[in-house]
Chains A and B, each alone.
Chain A
């Protein structure tokens, strides 16, 4: 029983981090119908930005509240800028082209980033994983029984941040003028432009928001995993993407629920079966969900227009 509870908690903690990355996928897909394959790699770049900031601050400063805030701020703003650049120079010129071209571009950016960061030329970090500095000291926040169930402070922090962001996003999308513009662009960006909505600005802002979120999620992941490497984005990104699709891509609460479900499924496979099957089960679960509900759990299948 205690074991089950522990797995539940670990699964939810893993799921919240997927959820934060998945939200970025879902926002961009919602607005642009683009699977931003490079999202996970933007996250990876954010983690390295945080890593560099942490070292620049030095051992004393990085543990303080101001230090942590600075690390998060640099990484999130840096990634927002990166997201803006990608949108402006890689995706915007392709907006009127077939959707496949933008997908291929995204895959290209993903490869250029993840493999480019493996080179050790100039400022690039090289292929070997590095230990992320301890910016939030891990403490056991809640212990039940004789260490039967342990909840860590970072698990609680991540969970609260993820839920907070989800609620915030939901509010942004459905209760603000910007959200209204986002939904209009998502519906039909040409008509939205005719109605006086600054489409380019809305899309660029969505990209920046999603990339900034990715950086924040990446830092939470690095705090949990303590190891950063250029390839981390490829796999965390893939999993988060799977989560977004399971929930129904383009659906904000769907992404979070999909991510939590995926985190739980993975944790149970690792806990009760074999960890080597984890990835296969994640993808198998995805295929199963899509076969039953082709649009994901909460998504709608758009009727095909002729």
Chain B
């Protein structure tokens, strides 16, 4: 399979190397404070931010498997479902429990974190199971197995009494807040970036570029593929757990093949292999329907068209994929990150050709 060459960033760094390591923290902490301050009033804005954060976590985590390792997985919603259901179920069981040595709010957050981690670990276990067939299957076949696995998870959930069957789980305490969601966004982005730069990450890249050659160079390809799946599905499970704690109800309908494809679109739009690309695409694709809705509202077609935005979203996703593949198959950023690309854009704007 022909793939674009792995870029080795050589351009002048936008951020001095010494600062790079701490940059995420420097950016994230004020951002969190700002969020908490800005959102103290608006319920809708915090809902939107929660959705956006969950989408970012899903896109960045899927990018580890699809982008970095080159194993096309199209069942990510299945892992999200596992996380959502396990964490939601745990929270429902722990609802009445309070850690008496802590204030109520803190106790809730501790229990919430425990539930989230349970969901994440359960999803990681499923990721291990899905990773195993990748020992024998490649390319298209593996994609179909992940798709099948996602669907199987959905059917299993749908037939489990403890998970409310088709009705789903309701009454899950609404613990998730934008700052909590963004804490996890921060964590997943940081983890993905550190992974990409580590020797483990380099092994993943080598599998993406040429599996046979990687194997010949002594890379334990199967081991790394399984690890990528486990790592990625852990975060998908966390995203599911967060999701379960801010929507009023979760049911098997939230985790279909279509949901998986939405995440794939985010990763592909951002560029397979680009963490910042995945983040930006997730933000863009979360805001797009909202933007269209308010645009139609401003145009005065509130009633009919604004309601149709949700319907229009999916065909637009489809067309977007086609147009993107035909015009820019590597996505917005390719395998590069925004700081590899931004200086070039800026200098091109400022002083002619870079």
Contacts and interface: CB of A to CB of B under 8 A. Distances in A.
Instruction: Tell whether A pairs with B.
Output: yes
Contact of B315 (A112, A294, A304): A112
B96 interface: no
Interface in A245-268: 245
Contact of B156 (A93, A101, A280): A280
Chain A interface SS verdict (over half): helix
Nearest to A89: B326
Interface string B133-173: 10011111101110111011001101100000000000000
Contacts of A101: 325, 329
A133 interface: no
A100 B72 contact: yes
B97 interface: no
Interface residues of A, number: 46
B284 to A, nearest CB: 17
Chain B interface SS verdict (over half): helix
A4 interface: no
B325 A104 contact: yes
Interface stretch (A113-121, A137-145, A165-173, A179-187): A113-121
A94 B155 contact: no
B218 to A, nearest CB: 15
Contacts of A294: 136-137, 141
Contacts of B133: 287, 290-291
Which of A100, A103, A115 is packed against the most chain B CB atoms within 10 Å? A100
B145 A287 contact: yes
B314 A115 contact: yes
A111 B324 CA distance: 14
B47 interface: no
A116 B72 CA distance: 26
A100 B138 CA distance: 12
Interface string B302-346: 000000100110110111111011100100000000000000000
A108 B144 contact: no
Contact of A108 (B155, B308, B312, B321): B321
A274 to B, nearest CB: 7
B3 interface: yes
B264 interface: yes
B315 A277 contact: no
A111 B264 CA distance: 13
B3 A98 contact: yes
B148 A104 contact: no
A121 to B, nearest CB: 8
Interface string A70-105: 000000000000000000001001101111111111
Contacts of B158: 276
B29 interface: no
Given A99-B139, A100-B1, A105-B326, A277 B318 contact: no
A112 B322 contact: yes
A97 B148 contact: no
B93 to A, nearest CB: 25
Given A245-B144, A287-B149, A116 B315 contact: yes
Given A103-B143, A280-B152, A291-B133, A94 B326 contact: yes
B326 A90 contact: yes
B51 interface: no
B189 interface: no
Contacts, number: 134
B166 to A, nearest CB: 9
A123 B317 CA distance: 21
Given A108-B318, A242-B144, A98 B152 contact: no
A290 B314 contact: no
A108 B148 contact: no
A37 B107 CA distance: 48
A306 B133 CA distance: 22
A294 B322 CA distance: 30
Contact of B322 (A105, A119, A276, A306): A105
Nearest to B130: A287
B268 A104 contact: yes
B153 to A, nearest CB: 9
A97 B329 contact: yes
A264 B322 CA distance: 36
Nearest to B132: A291
Contacts of A279: 151-152, 155
Contacts of A98: 1-3, 329
A35 interface: yes
Contact of B308 (A96, A119, A284): A119
Contacts of A8: none
Interface in B72-92: 72
25 contacts: A98-B2, A99-B139, A101-B329, A105-B321, A105-B325, A107-B264, A108-B317, A108-B321, A108-B324, A110-B318, A111-B314, A111-B317, A115-B311, A118-B314, A276-B158, A277-B155, A280-B156, A283-B149, A284-B148, A286-B145, A287-B145, A290-B133, A290-B136, A290-B137, A306-B212
- List the 3 closest A-B pairs by CB distance, nearest first: A108-B321, A111-B318, A112-B318
Interface of A: 35, 90, 93-94, 96-105, 107-116, 118-119, 127, 234, 238, 241-242, 245, 274, 276-277, 279-280, 283-284, 286-287, 290-291, 294, 304, 306
Given A98-B329, A306-B213, 11 more contacts: A104-B321, A107-B264, A108-B319, A108-B321, A108-B322, A109-B322, A110-B318, A112-B315, A245-B144, A276-B159, A304-B138
